[in-house]
Chains A and B, each alone.
Chain A
Amino acid sequence: KAGVTQTPRYLIKTRGQQVTLSCSPISGHRSVSWYQQTPGQGLQFLFEYFSETQRNKGNFPGRFSGRQFSNSRSEMNVSTLELGDSALYLCASSLVAGEAGELFFGEGSRLTVL
């Protein structure tokens, strides 16, 4: 069974640009959540989607957005990039939402903003 797949793995952008990251969950998993990992702030929750609906959102500005498609694949978008957005963005999937089921993480998308 394929794991959580995130694309692209690495990308470099300049300030002011926008970026879209993609996450394909494990087959059959309907819940997808996103996390930002930086050396200074650690791991911070961005948002969670289940059945194409955003269930929860972390404390991030409106420049950060996401969506989930009918096949459970998810995308997150960051507009008007800032230097501080440089981070490893992790996607995690689980079978269902609302239970303490195991979260399976992808390898992440490493974004560098110059």
Chain B
Amino acid sequence: AQTVTQSQPEMSVQEAETVTLSCTYDTSESDYYLFWYKQPPSRQMILVIRQEAYKQQNATENRFSVNFQKAAKSFSLKISDSQLGDAAMYFCAYRSAEGAQKLVFGQGTRLTINP
């Protein structure tokens, strides 16, 4: 079974600074997808960024980018120019490339932005 580990329960960063959230995963599959989701307080979870395992190039979405190291099974999220609206729980998630929409989530990292 696949597992996802986020070793940082909480992180904080000054507004406008850069922060990196860590995620490692374990799988025996060669083809899969990795995601970062953001869950603001009392609001719904939204997709931040997605990475296909077969792509070597790291995904980027505006201020959000990932460092995908397939051999090391590592998938970190970098947030540049942090904004107050980035404060949320961030979840790393894994999905097999075979069929179902089953996501395996990490335990989450609570990100605080200090003004």
Report yes or no: A42 in contact with B101, Cβ–Cβ below 8 A.
no
Q: Does B36 contact A (CB under 8 A)?
A: no
Report yes or no: B52 in contact with A45, Cβ–Cβ below 8 A.
no
Interface size on B, residues (CB 8 A): 21
What are the residues of chain A within 8 A of B33 when measuring CB–CB? 100
What are the residues of chain A within 8 A of B78 when measuring CB–CB? none
Report yes or no: B43 in contact with A97, Cβ–Cβ below 8 A.
no
Secondary structure call for the A interface: strand
Secondary structure call for the B interface: loop
Interface residues on A, range: 20 to 34
Report yes or no: A105 in contact with B100, Cβ–Cβ below 8 A.
no
Task: Knowing A42-B108, A90-B45, A107-B43, say if A102 contacts B50 (CB, 8 Å).
Answer: yes
Q: Does A33 contact B (CB under 8 A)?
A: yes
Report yes or no: A55 in contact with B100, Cβ–Cβ below 8 A.
yes
